[in-house]
Structure 1
Amino acid sequence: MITTSDLRKVYRAHGRDTVALDGVDLHVRTGEVYGVVGTSGAGKSTLIRCVNLLERPSSGSVQVDGRELTSLSASELRATRRSIGMVFQHFNLLARRTVAENVQLPLELTGLTRRERAAKAAELLDLVGLADKARAYPAQLSGGQKQRVGIARALAGDPKVLLSDEATSALDPETTRSVLQLLRELNQQLGLTVLLITHEMDVIKSVCDSAALMRAGKVVESGTLNELLARPGSELARELFPLGGGTPVAGDEPLQGSTLVDITFQGDAAVQPFISQLARTYNVDVNIVGAAVETIGGRQVGRMRVALPGSFEENVVPIGYLREQGLQVEVAA
């Protein structure tokens, strides 16, 4: 649904060039929730604004629903943008308009009658759980309610794609969870493709199907969450699912002379007693250094760090046994 190829954006100011995007390749499949995560200055906001050409890229390709946006005329681009909704971090609601009037704003240039616009706004406000706030003004709403109005407004043109620019970063944790749940419900009910940017790993963990990590204007890693969790050495997987317990150091007697192994298990493997089976089969003492089970992308996933006595060479067979059980096993550095 969304594809960028070798996307570059360079800003020039005071005789100096600042590279915001440096050859970004991104592929978002139809119907998925795709998260782009990174620290401030990584290029996330520039990327999402280039997807609907609010920022025109310096070079590269942007395709949405099979159309190359960079080659469209101004009128063609305006028409295409109707199929791309956008939710902003700070809501961008007009203070002197009611909630319903804010939602109707994108419809005022579509040729719909006032009655048709009102009916559409009422339908969308009901969809986001704010049917009773139609006549309220933004100042009378909480932050979460304002963002729901912003989402309703973004849906006014019946878009196929919804872009979310740090939509939850100004909200408290409980409100963030409710807004993310709403985005997931809209994704499923309407078949929306959602591209969101965030600096919070919890957002990726709770709502996304796929993710990309950006740094210094580049995508350094990407994939579905399942692929990332199964990928040896994945930086995103480590950030999504951190484990306690590090490399043995002097004075750390229980771990001295041990091999640290990180184990990721999903699906049926999550309920198998593989640690006890390993200990019995090879008569090995397994020291569990850190472990956690969480729900990521709607699926239960577990990670465990264990210490096996002896060097790696002495543990080749036990490690091979774990891999034969369908587990992702990585020897920690």
Structure 2
Amino acid sequence: MITTTGLTKVYQSRDREVTALDGVDLHVREGEVYGVIGQSGAGKSSLIRCVNLLERPTSGTVTVAGQDLTALAGRGRRAGAELRRARTRIGMVFQHFNLLDSRTVLDNVELPLEILGVSGQARTRKAKELLDLVGLAEKAKSYPGQLSGGQKQRVGIARALAGDPQVLLSDEATSALDPETTRSILQLLRDLNQQLGLTVLLITHEMDVVKTVCDSAALMQRGRIVESGTVGELLATPGSELAHELFPVGGTASGPDRTVVDVTFHGESASRPVISQLSRTYNIDISILGAAMDTVGGKQIGRMRIELPGRFEENVVPIGFLREQGLQAEVVDGDPAPKTPAGAPAATAGPAGTTAVPEQTAPPVKEAAK
């Protein structure tokens, strides 16, 4: 539904250039909620404003619903009209609501319909339907100054839906709201995604937003996307920075002859007593150094940092058992990097401090227990 290819945005700042986007490739599938997360200055807002061409990209292409929007830009009046028509299929929700204080709630929602030339009765009927959809039918005659922050954002969402868009863009829509209101707005976005078949692209710096509502996510740093995929895929990817941010765990080895392992639970494995099975099967004492569990997309997902007795070489089989149970296991390095046992596949490098354990099947339990 949304695809950017080689997207670059360079701003001129006095005597120097600032690169906000540096060759961004992004693909958002139809009907999904996709989150782009990153710290301030990562390029998130520039990205979402380039998707609907509120900001014109320096280079690269933006395609929405099969239409190349960048091909409609900068070619005279007729092309401008085509771009405006294309934008009606893209709704946008802003961080600071952008409501007109002099107009009632109903009038604010009617505004884009006025611009589209919809007749008075038709636009009023449509605006009332949208206010009912976002739970604010009783506030139609109120003014923005009489509303709470969450109510203002609901009006902004209703207004963004006025043109019956296929895509809804959300630029930090919950960052100015308290946690409880944030949860209600995120639930509304998910409901609209499911009821209307909307594709939602949201920008955020809050990890809880990704955990609560997103099907897929991308991590941006310094104008580039460094990781992307479904939330499940990212959690199962060895060395994923986003997985570590979503479910942070801490704790260090209690001694030099210990192996610390980060274990990721998702899917059916999250509800099974795998750690206790590991302890009983191999008759080893396991220490839990830290854990973080949550529900993502209706499924329990989490990470746990455990400590096994003995060095890495002595724990290849127990760690293989964890992987056989459908868990992702990453060994946290000590000062010297653990050596790969003779004859075992080489491990793949993760971020600093971790090593992804090579694919390995544990031997049958009866043999392992001998």
Report the TM-score when normalising by structure 1: 0.96
Residue aligned with 1:21, SS: strand
Equivalent AA in structure 2 for residue 50 of structure 1: C
- Write the distance in 2 (CA, Å) between the matches of 1:280 and 1:147: 53
Contact 1:255 1:307 in 2 (8 A): no
How far residue 257 of structure 1 moved from its aligned partner, in angstroms, is 1.5
Residue aligned with 1:212, SS: strand
- Write the distance in 2 (CA, Å) between the matches of 1:227 and 1:255: 33
Give deviations 1:103-162, integer Å, cap 9, x for gaps.
Answer: 000001323210101000000000000000000000000000000000000000000000
How far residue 286 of structure 1 moved from its aligned partner, in angstroms, is 1.0
Equivalent AA in structure 2 for residue 292 of structure 1: A
Equivalent AA in structure 2 for residue 167 of structure 1: A
- Write the distance in 2 (CA, Å) between the matches of 1:18 and 1:304: 40
Give deviations 1:224-262, integer Å, cap 9, x for gaps.
Answer: 00000000000000000111213x3xxxxx444110011
Equivalent AA in structure 1 for residue 4 of structure 2: T
- Write the distance in 1 (CA, Å) between the matches of 2:172 and 2:318: 44
Report the TM-score when normalising by structure 2: 0.87
Give deviations 1:35-80, integer Å, cap 9, x for gaps.
Answer: 0111111100000000000000000010000110000121110000
Query: Which runs of structure 2 are paired with 1:79-118 in the superposition (5 Å)?
Result: 79-118=85-124
Tell me which of 147, 165, 186 is aligned to 1:159: 165
- Write the distance in 2 (CA, Å) between the matches of 1:50 and 1:257: 52
Tell me which of 230, 233, 246 is aligned to 2:239: 233
Residue aligned with 2:115, SS: coil
Instruction: State the partner residue of 2:201.
Output: 195
Contact 1:211 1:223 in 2 (8 A): yes
How far residue 281 of structure 1 moved from its aligned partner, in angstroms, is 1.5
Instruction: State the partner residue of 2:258.
Output: 258
Instruction: State the partner residue of 1:133.
Output: 139
Instruction: State the partner residue of 1:17.
Output: 17
Give deviations 1:74-114, integer Å, cap 9, x for gaps.
Answer: 11100000000000000000011000000000001323210
Instruction: State the partner residue of 1:251.
Output: none
Equivalent AA in structure 2 for residue 129 of structure 1: G
- Write the distance in 1 (CA, Å) between the matches of 2:122 and 2:116: 11
Give deviations 1:166-221, integer Å, cap 9, x for gaps.
Answer: 10111111111111110010001000000000111111111111111111111111
Contact 1:308 1:315 in 2 (8 A): yes
| 1:313 paired to 2:313 | yes
| 1:8 paired to 2:14 | no
- Write the distance in 1 (CA, Å) between the matches of 2:264 and 2:134: 37
Residue aligned with 1:236, SS: helix
Contact 1:210 1:224 in 2 (8 A): yes
RMSD, aligned α-carbons: 1.0
Instruction: State the partner residue of 1:120.
Output: 126
Equivalent AA in structure 1 for residue 309 of structure 2: P
Equivalent AA in structure 1 for residue 119 of structure 2: T
- Write the distance in 2 (CA, Å) between the matches of 1:318 and 1:175: 44
Equivalent AA in structure 2 for residue 307 of structure 1: E
Residue aligned with 1:180, SS: helix
Equivalent AA in structure 2 for residue 261 of structure 1: V
Instruction: State the partner residue of 1:76.
Output: 82
Contact 1:294 1:301 in 2 (8 A): yes
Give the stretch that moved more between structures: 265-274 or 15-24: 265-274
Deviating 4+ runs (over 2 angstroms): none
Instruction: State the partner residue of 2:340.
Output: none
Query: Which runs of structure 2 are paired with 1:138-149 in the superposition (5 Å)?
Result: 138-149=144-155
* Percentage of identical aligned residues: 72
Equivalent AA in structure 2 for residue 6 of structure 1: G
RCO greater where, 1 or 2, for CA within 8 Å and sep 6 or more?
A: 1
Query: Which runs of structure 2 are paired with 1:210-249 in the superposition (5 Å)?
Result: 210-246=216-252, 248=253
Equivalent AA in structure 2 for residue 282 of structure 1: Y
Unmatched segments (≥5 aa) in structure 1:
249-253
- Write the distance in 2 (CA, Å) between the matches of 1:141 and 1:111: 28
Give the stretch that moved more between structures: 49-58 or 104-113: 104-113
- Write the distance in 1 (CA, Å) between the matches of 2:119 and 2:162: 14
Residue aligned with 1:203, SS: helix
| 1:207 paired to 2:213 | yes
Residue aligned with 1:159, SS: coil
| 1:55 paired to 2:55 | yes
Equivalent AA in structure 2 for residue 319 of structure 1: I
Instruction: State the partner residue of 1:272.
Output: 272
